[in-house]
Structure 1
Amino acid sequence: MKQDSETANEPVPEESAQRAFTSYAAPLVDQAIRLAKDIHDDPSPEALHKLRVSLRRLRSLWWAFAPLLDKGENSRQRAVYKFLATAAGKTRDWDILIELLKQKDGDARALMPKLEQARRDTLATSRETLLNADVKHLLRDALATTSGELHATHDADIALRKFAARRIGASERSLKKRIKRARHAKRSNYAAFHDVRKAGKKLRYLFEFFGPVLKISHKRTLKRLKKLQKRFGLLNDTVASEALLRDNAASLADADHIEAALDWLDRKRKRRLRAASELLG
């Protein structure tokens, strides 16, 4: 009995990052598999958006654990998530363009039938790509491979809280660096603003993953990140829609309708760029 009492009073070892990985990754993998299956029955914009977000979160999680993984294998797995997210995202890009142009009166209405057809054609290709990719097998294999690699390094375990703080710190520094670059960039240098959006999104995902194990609350930072992500997301929607319309102009409608839509998108992009710039300080 004495031995049991002494054992009960011993401090419980903190969970290691290596051991915690599967508890983070498995639910995300299950969710992505379910969403990939669902789009065969539900081709709605929301279903595709959920799948793309799920795959992006997986990619961010593998980035978070990159220091503990073989560099080549980690890059390969993240490339898989990017490929799948792009397949889902191509249809989503048409959805965004259509929703934007529905806000415009006049000429944009004439584009709708061909835009809707392009969306249907792209959806068929996205579905075929995801089906042929065997999403379930790809993601299950990635989870098993990475979990096995991490469990094999138990002799070099690092406490989860310490690891989480390091990775969030690295992500915060990356975001600050990109914000500084964007502050001094010309308005025409959209890549600098896009980098801020990507870095902010990655940091937000890390807070969502690791927030419960951190000692300090990051509610204020998360609130700012959500605001940043919303404004920069709206800017990205406009930039991507302009590019999509230009790239497909020849197959969509006559030049006058296309040019009027592009002029309208150009004005909207400039307004959204100003709004995004205000958040950079």
Structure 2
Amino acid sequence: MKRDGHRESRKTDGGSSPAGSNPPEPAAQAAFASYAAPLVSDAIAYANAVRDDPSPEALHKLRVSLRRLRSLWWAFAPLLEKGENTRQRALYKYLANAAGKTRDWDILIELIRHEDVAANSLTPTLEEARGNALTTSRETLTNADVKHLLREALTSASTDINTAHERVPLHKFASKRVAASERSLMKRAKRARRARRSNYAAFHDVRKAGKKLRYLLEFFEPVLSGSHKRTLKRLKQVQKRFGALNDIVASEMLLRDNASLLAGSGDTEGVLHWFHKERKRRMRSAAGLLRKL
């Protein structure tokens, strides 16, 4: 990925400031809670909303907020106890997957309606399956006690991160983590360019790495040197195009996994044929964007 132009950094490493200059920036350890606390609050609010709001948007916002939390914990991993950080990131993934099971049905239904696939007779069965998934998602999130789990995770991580004696300037720490995330994206993009067109997993890895880098840039952009607007624009393009591919792949898999449930509901084979053709088209589109990274 081509880098944006950089301007000279005016940030300090946290030492004493000349008279009249800006105060020294905080250490990464001190800044952690200012990033994490709002994300935790958002995730709790969205989890509460899902109990009363069955709309696809409520589930989508919850899943995104949990992914952002997972990316933030990855960013601060060098300052956190490894085992605890791994467990907390696994928690965010578990909760996101709970919401995602219903969201997958939403995407499938939306694709069929939007693309005018000849599968109107499938819709009632899909809606019923979506309702059952929502019930399970709600039960999982309620039983998990999201509010308690996330607040406990925040408290634990904040305590852990501030026990270290060595302080790391925030802009230096952020720059290193963004650079590490960018290297990860480039490595996965290179692997995907060399992979067979049928190797969706390689494309999926690019999507995840691109999303992580985008989140980190959004978190840390105010303390980074230079402008990252062009990079963010490219990452949004990656997320949109690779996300469209993921929607098709996940929906096709959902249909195949529930073939017995949908038997007799409509032209399932015809719909699967459409998804197969659409997957190939979107794979070509994603591959074209890969060459520009």
The TM-score range, normalised by the shorter chain, is over 0.9
Contact kept in structure 2, 1:114 and 1:253, CA below 8 Å:
no
Closer/same/farther in 2, CA of residues 244 and 151 from structure 1, 3 Å limit = same
Deviations 1:161-214 (A, max 9, x none): 000000000000000011111111101100000000000000000001000111
Q: How does 1:1-281 map to 2 (within 5 A)?
A: 9=19, 12-105=23-116, 107-153=118-164, 155-254=165-264, 257-281=267-291
Q: Which of 1 and 2 has higher RCO (CA within 8 Å, sep 6+)?
A: 2
What is the aligned residue count? 275
Gaps of 5+ in 1: 1-5
Contact kept in structure 2, 1:111 and 1:253, CA below 8 Å:
no
Distance 2:115 2:204 in 1: 25
Contact kept in structure 2, 1:26 and 1:143, CA below 8 Å:
yes
How far apart are residue 255 of structure 1 and its match?
8.3
Matched letter for residue 278 of structure 1: G
Deviations 1:86-115 (A, max 9, x none): 000000000000011113546411110000
How far apart are residue 10 of structure 1 and its match?
8.0
Deviations 1:56-96 (A, max 9, x none): 00000000000111110000000000000000000000000
RMSD of Structure 2 on Structure 1 (CA): 1.6
Contact kept in structure 1, 2:122 and 2:265, CA below 8 Å:
no
Tell me the TM-score normalised to structure 2 length.
0.91
Contact kept in structure 1, 2:117 and 2:271, CA below 8 Å:
no
How far apart are residue 216 of structure 1 and its match?
1.0
Deviations 1:133-170 (A, max 9, x none): 000000000000000011111x2110000000000000
How far apart are residue 8 of structure 1 and its match?
8.4
Distance 1:46 1:144 in 2: 29
How far apart are residue 248 of structure 1 and its match?
0.4
Distance 1:124 1:30 in 2: 23
Distance 2:43 2:203 in 1: 28
Higher helix share: 1
Contact kept in structure 1, 2:207 and 2:238, CA below 8 Å:
yes
Distance 2:42 2:266 in 1: 44
Contact kept in structure 2, 1:187 and 1:273, CA below 8 Å:
yes
Gaps of 5+ in 2: 1-15
Contact kept in structure 1, 2:252 and 2:275, CA below 8 Å:
yes
